[in-house]
Structure 1
Amino acid sequence: MAEIPVESPSATPAAPSASAAAAPPPTVRLGADQARRIALRAQGLIGPPDRRAGAGGVLRRLGAVQLDTISVLARSHELVPYARLGAVGRRPVEQAYWGRGTAFEYWSHAACVLPIEQWPLFAFRRRAYRAKDRVWGHPVSSSAYAQVIDKLRAEGPLTSTGLGGAKKTSEWWDWSDTKIAVERALAFGDVVVTERRGWKRVYDLAERAVPAELFGQDPTDAECLVRLVALAGAALGVATRADLMDYHRLKGAQLDAVLAESGLVPVEVEGWGAPAWADPAALAAAGPAGGSAAGRGRHRTTLLSPFDSLIWDRPRTERIFGMSHRLEAYTPKHKRVHGYFAMPLLTAGRLVGRVDPARVGNVLVARQVSLDAPKFVPALAEALREAAEWTGCSAVRVEQLADESLRPELERLLG
């Protein structure tokens, strides 16, 4: 089940404001395919994988990796670097995310791992949380808050259990005063998550865990937002106003107030039907008018987590790739169309099918598979073989195939 934020201070996307409408007219016009390639390159899915930088490099490039409790082939935060680097061990991923002083968890697009360098940039959100006096509709006990801080100061990093218990009862939502207090302290920035133990958060004092040169910074809201919008633009390559808001879940007024200062360039994208902005470095790498240079380099063939930042924004995914995709894990089984954790298949820079995977012993099971066309069978086989090897499976079994006429070739390629 997905982790749920304490109380997101962000709003749903609003209509463009007068300041957004007053943006200068675009001088660069991009075709839909050019924009798609720019987006893929920005997300690290075109070109040679930077294995030396590893999972930490992926995190810094994306700026945010979403966390989720669902684990099928692996947890989503492991699938994200895998999609870009290929086989990457769990230990290097854990070290990149929770090696002390390298990253921190906070509310961004959702519950995310963020590069530690971004700690100062979320001061605006920490201040917004401090302006509230309730968590999950309950007032925060000042005595429980003080006890949490004192216990962490005296004993070092602890889980909620170590702090005194996470729940009042067995119900998942019935948080104890201690759990409410420590989550509030996390939102305020008085504590940080330093690691995960059995998927339980381990909390420590921010003053101890965040590098001093970052902990001491206190940028204004405007300074935070200018930088976050620029970083979102770099991670997206090219984006609409709604895309930019969604990346770190900003309010429309917040975005509009700083968009002109972000350094992003107004562009027009064929077929998008909305104003767009591009990262100038992404445009430069793409060549004149976002030309063919944006498509050079090896395209990854891989299965994508539904929480991958390439596709976590469903309207953007449909606009760029023509795929209407959503997570069906919380949909009643009899109403699912593509499966519990259907993963889009990416190949040659396009989304061409879906696989709902599972692991049964040492077998990777494709419980449900659909493809846009028979020509993508080799790509499907490649993605399934690589995923099986990465997860330690020695065989692949395909159960339900939307087009059974493809089975002989698929099974031959899977060997």
Structure 2
Amino acid sequence: MTNPYSATQWLQLSMQQQGLLQPFESLPALLQQLSYVQIDSINVVERAHHHVLHSRLPHYATSMLDQAMGDKSVFESWSHAAAYLPIEDYRFSLYRKQQLQQGDKHWFEPEHKVMREVKARITDEGPLNASQFKHDADVKNGAWWDWKPAKKALEQLFIQGELMVARRDKFQKVYDLTERVLPSHIDTTVPSDCEFAQHLIKRYLVAHGFGNLQQIQYLRKGLKPLLTKTLAQMCEQGDIASFTEPHTRQVYFYTRVYRCH
């Protein structure tokens, strides 16, 4: 297939799918469209993720994100980075969480004894943040690689799915047991390889309008063969279409999202 649209139409499509041409009615609807919003500590006027939401949602206020976390329409997880995601996508976060539970490494080696102690405190005391765990005052604390053992344990339990972020207090994560945070109606079936790959592809193409393999697999190690196979299958089935750009990369897209003229 040859390139079906002009550069202007591709730009219009990208802006349309990113919610920059027509405002959204609610924060959950916006997150459904974007797939996720990366959480960013950069704070110029306001933290970066709030800029993303403010530019797409009329009358946005930072309290709306706290409210969405409170009513459990969104949740925090690790996408390609720390992010807010629609709660309906929770089961797809289990794909990576299962791998981590089975021994895959995220940032550092799990300290299982500390993890058990940290989880036991949260089980008994309820939601806690990292500052509520004592540590050696002589241990350097700064960047994430200098985190105290309890903070590492909290993050490992979070990234594996045993804990969730219940809320944030002054941008600090407050952790609780997953079963006390996750709504009871949410599907917790771990997706198959095929289901997970299709989810990534569909989410990316709906959020951006089009993309290539390198973009879809961004910062997701080991998924290239699976995504390559799934993209080919989806093209054969007519779920998506593709064309080859001048630099020989296949560009994939959903024809049904086009409203360009």
- Normalising by structure 2, we get a TM-score of 0.87
Q: Distance in 1 between the 2:2 and 2:73 partners? A: 39
Question: Where do 1:141-152 residues align within 5 Å?
Answer: 141-152=111-122
1:159 aligned residue (129, 138, 141)? 129
Q: Distance in 2 between the 1:228 and 1:84 partners? A: 23
Instruction: Give the length in aligned residue pairs.
Output: 256
Extract unaligned runs of 5+ from structure 1.
1-25, 293-415
Residue 342 (structure 1) aligns with: none
1:256 aligned residue (220, 223, 228)? 228
SS at match of 2:44: coil
Q: Distance in 1 between the 2:169 and 2:239 partners? A: 40
Give the AA of the match of 2:8.
D
Q: Distance in 2 between the 1:250 and 1:112 partners? A: 21
Question: Where do 1:13-412 residues align within 5 Å?
Answer: 26=1, 29-47=4-22, 49-50=23-24, 52-53=25-26, 55-96=27-68, 98-132=69-103, 136-137=107-108, 139-164=109-134, 168-172=139-143, 173-214=145-186, 216-246=188-218, 251-262=223-234, 264-268=239-243, 273-283=248-258, 286=259, 291-292=260-261
Contact 2:3 2:245 (8 Å CA) reproduced: no
Superposition deviation, residue 135 in structure 1: 5.6
Q: Distance in 2 between the 1:99 and 1:73 partners? A: 24
Contact 1:102 1:116 (8 Å CA) reproduced: yes
- Are residues 63 and 250 of structure 1, via their aligned partners in 2, closer, same or farther at CA, if it must alter by over 3 Å? farther
Contact 2:38 2:49 (8 Å CA) reproduced: yes
Post-superposition CA distance 1:36-78 (Å, at most 9, x none): 111111111113x12x32x222212101101111110211111
Give the AA of the match of 1:80.
V
Q: Distance in 2 between the 1:177 and 1:34 partners? A: 51
- Are residues 270 and 28 of structure 1, via their aligned partners in 2, closer, same or farther at CA, if it must alter by over 3 Å? closer
Superposition deviation, residue 249 in structure 1: 7.0
SS at match of 2:166: strand
Superposition deviation, residue 189 in structure 1: 0.6
Contact 1:56 1:93 (8 Å CA) reproduced: no
Q: Distance in 2 between the 1:270 and 1:257 partners? A: 20
Superposition deviation, residue 87 in structure 1: 3.8
Q: Distance in 2 between the 1:247 and 1:180 partners? A: 21
Overall identity of the aligned pairs, in %: 27
SS at match of 2:4: strand
Contact 2:217 2:227 (8 Å CA) reproduced: yes
Give the AA of the match of 2:73.
T
Superposition deviation, residue 198 in structure 1: 1.0
Superposition deviation, residue 251 in structure 1: 2.8
- Are residues 213 and 174 of structure 1, via their aligned partners in 2, closer, same or farther at CA, if it must alter by over 3 Å? same
Superposition deviation, residue 108 in structure 1: 1.1
Per mean C-alpha deviation after superposition, the further-off stretch among 142-151 and 264-273 is: 264-273
Q: Distance in 1 between the 2:133 and 2:247 partners? A: 50
Q: Which has the larger radius of gyration?
A: 1
